[in-house]
Amino acid sequence: MDQWQQPPSRKRGPRGCVMLSLLVVGALMAGAVWVGVSLNGRDPVPVKPVFTVPALTPEPRSAIPGDAGPLPAEASKEAWIAKVSENTDIPSRTLRAYVNAAEKTAKTTPRCKITWATIAGIGRTESQHARHDGSRAGEDGVVTPPIIGIPLDGSPGVLAVVDTDKGALDGDAKWDRAVGPMQFLPATWKRYGVRASGDGAAPDPQNIDDAALTTARYMCARGGDLAKPTGWWTAVLTYNNSTQYGQEVFSNADAYGKAALKPDPAPAPR
């Protein structure tokens, strides 16, 4: 997201659920919440908790997030995505967009060294990986319903940004709004937007593939070498000029990298 506004409000914490004819047993065992089903006399089923991110507070330009590991080989990519999606609560379709963006950027801008985990760190903060307010990324990459931020109308805490695209991207012909799962302003999207598929269509900020690749392009243009603390922090703080924002993205990226490197559990003894 450009630095003009705070991201759209996000609901944090455990997700609620509605259960009919279920007996909830609130026991926390071995990192799982056990839910006992009263129907059919089945045994309790472990339910995985939502992925949590430890809050880290590094000083700007003092460090980069931990190693996210190498990008998966093409032959094992889908298995890797399934495993990391399960470990991190990043939807597999969205995770694929982050990984593909990092792969393409490694070829087009090798000096940048942006990781999929950093792109994912932005995605979590901006829209909970395209899930803000009930949205989701479809298999075609298009996010529905579209994610559109608040009008940048000069309200308290918000700068005034007069419309730059005649409402073409944000539906607002008076004020600009940040758009898409990575929350770009229309003017920034016009300059940096890129079509991930290369099919000749215009880049779409509501397409998770286009949005993830544009995020990588924007951050590489602003930060240079993101494997260095100065480059990483310059890129993130250009995205949103807030130390708290940068620390949140840092925490996200660090946690995702560690989760991806976590070894598979040993098989249970027979």
In order along its 270 residues, the chain shows pLDDT tens digits of 555 444 443 333 222 222 223 222 232 222 323 232 333 444 455 566 689 999 999 999 999 999 999 999 999 999 999 999 999 999 999 999 999 999 999 999 999 999 999 999 999 999 999 999 999 999 999 999 999 999 999 999 899 999 999 999 999 999 999 999 999 999 999 999 999 999 999 999 999 999 999 999 999 999 999 999 999 999 999 999 999 999 999 999 999 999 999 887 666 666
Q: Which of 104, 142, 137, 130 is nearest to 10 (CA)?
A: 130
Q: How far apart are CA 158 and CA 161, in angstroms?
A: 9
What does the block give as tokens for 18? Answer: 């509605």
Is 0.95 topped by the overall pTM? no
- Beta partners for 179? 148, 184
The three state secondary structure string of 8-24 is CCCCCCCCCCCCCCCEE
Angle at 123 (CA atoms; ends 121, 124), nearest 5 degrees: 70
The secondary element (H helix, E strand) that includes residue 119 is helix 116-127
Q: Which of 237, 235, 195, 236 is nearest to 214 (CA)?
A: 195
Instruction: Map out the domains of the chain as residue ranges.
Output: 74-141+195-261
Q: Which of 62, 66, 68 is nearest to 95 (CA)?
A: 68
Residue 146 contacts residue 135 (beta carbons within 8 Å): yes
Looking at residue 98, its pLDDT comes to 98
Residue where the block lists tokens 């990008």: 71
Looking at residue 21, its pLDDT comes to 30
Looking at residue 5, its pLDDT comes to 41
Looking at residue 28, its pLDDT comes to 28
Looking at residue 268, its pLDDT comes to 61
| Close Cβ partners of 106 (under 8 Å, ≥ 6 residues apart) | 71, 112, 113
Looking at residue 30, its pLDDT comes to 29
Q: Which of 122, 192, 184, 189 is nearest to 147 (CA)?
A: 184
Give the count of beta carbons closer than 10 Å to the beta carbon of residue 14: 9
- Beta partners for 45? 35
Q: How far apart are CA 262 and CA 241, in angstroms?
A: 32
Q: Which of 159, 243, 169, 259 is nearest to 211 (CA)?
A: 169
Residue 90 contacts residue 255 (beta carbons within 8 Å): no
What does the block give as tokens for 157? Answer: 């805490």
Q: Which CATH class is domain 74-141+195-261?
A: mainly alpha
Looking at residue 269, its pLDDT comes to 67
Over residues 222-234, the pLDDT tens digits come to 999 999 999 999 9
